[in-house]
Structure 1
Amino acid sequence: MKVGVFSCKPYDKAMLESANSDGHLSYTFIEEPLTPLTAIACHDFDAVCIFVNDKVCGETVRALADAGVSHIALRCAGYNNVDVDEAKKLGLRVSRVPAYSPHTVAEHALALILTLNRKTHKAYNRVKEGNFDIQGLQGFTLHGKTVGIVGTGRIGQAVARILSGFGCTLLCYDPMPAQSVKALGASYTDLQTLLSTSHIITLHCPLNEGSYHLINEETIAQMRDGVMLINTSRGGLVNTQAVIKGLKSKKIGYLGLDVYEMESELFFRDHSLEIIQDDEFERLASFHNVLITGHQGFFTQEAMQEIAAVTVANIRMPGENNDNFLAP
């Protein structure tokens, strides 16, 4: 089978080639993202392999179908960037990797929490310059704090287990409560109670019509003063302008992001020699109490190996991996 791999980085190539050791798949590695324009050139491919910021709208899906592509294989869990209904209508298979190493993203969420709180990134820079003054580096004790977990799927459950070990009080919001989370002593509640009670709020829910801009001016107003907000899920969960207002008013005391609403124009590329044109991102990055990483929560050796193995299996044996398929 011939597979076009879009938004491909050297680490993607290495892992996908390793997972295809028998050479059953023939890859063409493409650094550019999949868009309606690049989809037109997919006539040589039986399948395309895509990532989180490829733009697989209806126009792209139709172009793929016209080119003879029969399978859209996501090497990630989220699929909000794919018009699944159009793919179903045209008979294109759509697969994803729904359950790769949830601990990986959960641990990154915790890294953001601890770094923002104890300001280790600032301390590192000070000590490198010979400055051992700890003024301004004071944090708070995580033990005993109330943490609100929005979404208790596999990643949210992993976050709950970690924070339970820190001695935190856990409040959760999810329409489908997990018994394993309840067993930790966590309590499920409504969103308003979670927002108003939690010292830390961490987002682990999918992006869809119901969750788009879940964090907005209204929901921020319900939060405790000085709340810590963490998002390692999808950028569209957070209204960027509302969060900037929340930071300026000090309603939000700490903000940790591994995802960003307009990240497709920025993330996974080197812009260090450019003038970044996104004024909202630049304003976010200017706050001393904001920590942004470039969507690297998934990026561990173990997770990458699993993502590659499942993606290759989805393409090679679609009939044997039905739980991973969204269409047709």
Structure 2
Amino acid sequence: MEILAFGVQSDERPLIQRAFAGHHDVRCLDVFLTEDTAPIAAGHEIISTSVNCGLGHRVLQTLAAGGTQMIAQRSTGFNNIDLDVAERLGMTAARVSYYSPYSVAEFAWTLGMAVNRRIVRAATRTRDFDFRLDGLMGRDMHGRTVGVVGTGKIGEAFTRIAHGFGMGLLGWDVAENPACLELGMEYVSKERLLAESDLITLHVPLMPETQHLVDAAALRAMKDDAILVNSSRGGLIDTAALVDQLREGRFTGVGLDVYEAEAGLFFLDKSMEAVEDDTLARLVTFPNVLVTSHQAYYTVDAVGQIIDTTLGNVLDYTAGRRSENVLVPRS
């Protein structure tokens, strides 16, 4: 059976082909699954998608009409898939429930430190042989307070890093993580976490309850010199409200690996095109903001685990088995 994989990065291609060898043929496409590209999947019972592929009702209907019955998503998040429509169409959908939490946690910490110590500005200056230190002053993280919003596997990994730097630990989640408690984390209300934290990092999934979790009121509640990091999902932050606060000169730094309107932008080369997204265009102009293109997960370790799990989901489907990764079961 040939499996069609959408949105495959060049670094991923050999890993996918190596993993699937001896099991199924796989054809890797660098284009993302959209309404325009969905007809390409005709005749393929199984397709694989990335988190920035859009699987709304029109795409799913096109896929079903072409004979696709199984969607193997190469990510933990699945807010890009209309699961209700998939179920009505009798399609199976599966995701990757778990991969290395260290990849995202380490990158989130890197974003925080990069904006704190003005690394990008410093590197740009030295390329021009400008070695002044004006405007590059950061601050020690030791002794300051981190607020971890979401203390699952990734939040726990981040907490361990912050603990190693000697930071005070505040956490907010629907359930307390015993491992974080052992590290000395104090679980508090969201309001207190926002008000007292010097560094705030987001590690909760995007769902209706967390859409714009960090809204205008939450941003106003933060310290003027706080650092905000988001390596989870762009929709957790009201970006327009964030831009408003940045225009007022607030925050030491903001590190964003995700953006709420990133679909159709991230993972693509738009360098020769006019940017139509005014909010993003404004966001990247602030000197205390660092935006990266949803790369926190992108390590050989994490991507390897994602691909291995995706292969396992495909093999489970063809064998009629069901695992914890299944979002919509086989009808």
Give me the TM-score of the superposition, normalised by structure 2: 0.95
Q: CA deviation at 1:218?
A: 1.3
Q: Could you tell me which residue of structure 2 aligns to residue 79 of structure 1?
A: 78
Q: CA deviation at 1:190?
A: 1.3
CA deviation vs aligned residue, 1:207-266 (integer Å, no higher than 9, x gap): 010111111111111111221110000111111110001111233331100011111121
Q: Is the 8 A contact 1:223 1:251 kept in 2?
A: no
Q: Which SS does the other structure have where 2:228 is aligned?
A: strand
Structure 1 stretch displaced more, 86-95 or 47-56: 86-95
Q: Is the 8 A contact 2:4 2:26 kept in 1?
A: yes
Q: Could you tell me which residue of structure 2 aligns to residue 175 of structure 1?
A: 174
Q: CA deviation at 1:327?
A: 1.1
Q: Could you tell me which residue of structure 1 aligns to residue 324 of structure 2?
A: 323
Q: CA deviation at 1:181?
A: 0.9
CA deviation vs aligned residue, 1:91-134 (integer Å, no higher than 9, x gap): 22111112111100100001101111111222222223222221
Q: Distance in 1 between matches of 2:239 and 2:126?
A: 33
The one-letter code of the counterpart of 2:237 is V
Q: Could you tell me which residue of structure 1 aligns to residue 19 of structure 2?
A: 19
Q: Which SS does the other structure have where 2:179 is aligned?
A: helix
Q: CA deviation at 1:178?
A: 0.9
Q: Which SS does the other structure have where 2:11 is aligned?
A: helix
Q: Is the 8 A contact 2:148 2:200 kept in 1?
A: yes
Q: Distance in 1 between matches of 2:212 and 2:250?
A: 17
Q: Is the 8 A contact 2:104 2:296 kept in 1?
A: yes
Q: Could you tell me which residue of structure 1 aligns to residue 155 of structure 2?
A: 156
Q: Could you tell me which residue of structure 1 aligns to residue 9 of structure 2?
A: 9
Give me the TM-score of the superposition, normalised by structure 1: 0.96
Q: CA deviation at 1:321?
A: 5.7
Q: Which SS does the other structure have where 1:180 is aligned?
A: helix
Q: Which SS does the other structure have where 1:170 is aligned?
A: strand
Show structure 1 runs of 5+ residues with no match.
Answer: none
Q: Distance in 2 between matches of 1:169 and 1:305?
A: 34
Q: Is the 8 A contact 2:151 2:173 kept in 1?
A: yes
Show structure 2 runs of 5+ residues with no match.
Answer: none
1:273 maps to 2:245? no
Q: Is the 8 A contact 2:316 2:323 kept in 1?
A: no
Where does 1:146-295 land on structure 2 (aligned, <5 Å)?
146-295=145-294
Q: Distance in 1 between matches of 2:39 and 2:92?
A: 18
CA-based RMSD of the aligned residues comes to 1.4
Q: CA deviation at 1:303?
A: 1.2
CA deviation vs aligned residue, 1:178-225 (integer Å, no higher than 9, x gap): 111111100111111111111111111100101111111111111112
Q: Which SS does the other structure have where 2:324 is aligned?
A: helix
Aligned length: 327
Q: Could you tell me which residue of structure 1 aligns to residue 104 of structure 2?
A: 105
> Deviating runs (4+, > 3 A) in structure 1?
318-321
